[in-house]
Structure 1
Amino acid sequence: MTVSSNKEAFLNTIASKLGRERKTHVQRPVIQDLIPDSYGQLTNDDLVEILKEQCFFIHTQVIESNPEILQRTLDDLIEANGGGIVMTSGDSRFEGYGLAFPEAFVWEEAAGREANIKRAESANTAIIFADCALAESGTVVVESRPDQGRSLHFLPAHYIAVIERQRLVLRSTQAAAAFNRRIQAGEPVGSSINFISGPSNSADIEMKLVVGVHGPLRATYVLI
């Protein structure tokens, strides 16, 4: 039996169990129609306030800064984290904002996967630029790319995400719509897209919340 016939048999069985005919032509929904308008019209300032409120509940610090003092803001956070090795992504925005760190690794494709992972393991603080941020859930959205692997977000003890205000949206459906537009335009998209909401935490054991079980102990968002 071919994969195609397996698929048809599987779908026919589901339709039968549901007591309805198979649908073969389904109109693709308009993503915007799926987004409930629960907040009404929101300004960027409104989104910032929603983000701050949500980050309080997910144990994430939000610091407002600006491009002129961004280097100083990040240096202060690195010091507050206990110093040590810093690892950044290879995002061009680090150069664009004139950022430099004396004791730092950069995730770079030329170094190779294993070397990058070892660097991430040795780093005390990771610093990245968010590709997008979701105010409603306090989430940063980051693509995995040759200059930014998945391990960068999960192995260092402290995680700093720089969020440009213009990249702040309300919720995940709007981020998904943006990625969908890129795909339809034929633009490349990362091998995975990570949605990260604050530091790692778990309440699996006796419903007691423990932060830093399988990822960063502390997360900080720097809003510029």
Structure 2
Amino acid sequence: MTVTTNKSANRNTNKEAFLNTIASKLGRERRTEVQRPAIQEFIPDSYGPLTTDDLVEILKEQCFFIHTQVIESTPEILQQTLSDLIEANGGGTVMLSGDRRFNEYGLAFPDAAVWEETAGRVENIRRAESANTAIVFADCALAESGTVVLESRPDQGRSLHFLPAHYIAVIERRRLVLRSTQAAAELNRRIQAGEPVGSAIQFISGPSNSADIEMKLVVGVHGPLRATYVLI
């Protein structure tokens, strides 16, 4: 005899029971209709109007404090810029995301490993673990905090950002915004439009940093030892 269970129905039942319990503990009826708050793109008056060049300068200044190198390049010399960085990192295995922009910019790294959906999770993680340098394209970058924003997708898993010793994020100038409010507004727009969004969103600000109780900064404890942003 074959027994089939509806996992989706079970999840919904558990969810309803959980929310009913919370409402009961709060001493009120369940609220079933909640209006989404409007997301405001708030920019302090102290900044004034900002151009892309202004955002670049803010990014550079912040990256100095988070131990992250910023290199300005162009699409025409991007291949050489990245090759030079790989060499400066000591060579070794390179791993790329499966981002289509590698092809759009004519980038070629013949011996590089690539995060591929067909390879499977275990194999992709093994490749990332063995890589000395990871290269990705940022989906967005936040100038004020020196942060790159990347979605987890079938061609770009989370481990790619954290396991290799060196991390290179290519940032297109048009994707540079001031802070997380603007990034959240764009994600909110996509969700409301029914567009697909990644299973996780990574906000990465430079290399791994940690400080013990004596406040001694240690870089690379649980992530890349070095991070470089290449702005094109």
Q: Do Structure 1 and Structure 2 share a fold, with TM-score over 0.5?
A: yes
Deviations 1:103-159 (A, max 9, x none): 200000000000000000110000000000000000000000000000000000000
Contact 2:140 2:171 (C-alpha < 8 Å) held by counterparts: yes
Output aligned runs, 1:136-147, within 5 Å.
136-147=144-155
Output aligned runs, 1:37-52, within 5 Å.
37-52=45-60
The 3-state SS of whatever aligns with 2:227 is: strand
The alpha-carbon deviation at position 206 of structure 1 amounts to 1.3
The alpha-carbon deviation at position 75 of structure 1 amounts to 0.3
Which residue in 2 is equivalent to 1:70?
78
In 2: Cα distance, 1:110 partner to 1:33 partner: 39
2:225 to 214, 217, 224: 217
Contact 2:170 2:229 (C-alpha < 8 Å) held by counterparts: yes
The alpha-carbon deviation at position 209 of structure 1 amounts to 0.2
1:87 to 85, 95, 109: 95
Unmatched runs of 5 consecutive residues or more in structure 1: 14-21
1:2 to 11, 14, 17: 17
Deviations 1:52-77 (A, max 9, x none): 00000000000000000000000000
Output aligned runs, 1:45-194, within 5 Å.
45-194=53-202
Identity of aligned pairs, percent? 81
Contact 1:84 1:103 (C-alpha < 8 Å) held by counterparts: no
The alpha-carbon deviation at position 90 of structure 1 amounts to 0.2
Runs of 4+ in 1 over 6 A off after TM superposition: 22-26
In 1: Cα distance, 2:27 partner to 2:228 partner: 49
Unmatched runs of 5 consecutive residues or more in structure 2: 1-15
Aligned length: 216
> TM-score by structure 2 length?
0.88
In 2: Cα distance, 1:40 partner to 1:10 partner: 47
Q: RMSD between aligned alpha carbons?
A: 2.0
In 1: Cα distance, 2:149 partner to 2:162 partner: 14
The alpha-carbon deviation at position 102 of structure 1 amounts to 2.7
> TM-score by structure 1 length?
0.91
In 2: Cα distance, 1:9 partner to 1:72 partner: 63
Contact 1:60 1:199 (C-alpha < 8 Å) held by counterparts: yes
The alpha-carbon deviation at position 198 of structure 1 amounts to 0.1
The 3-state SS of whatever aligns with 2:40 is: helix
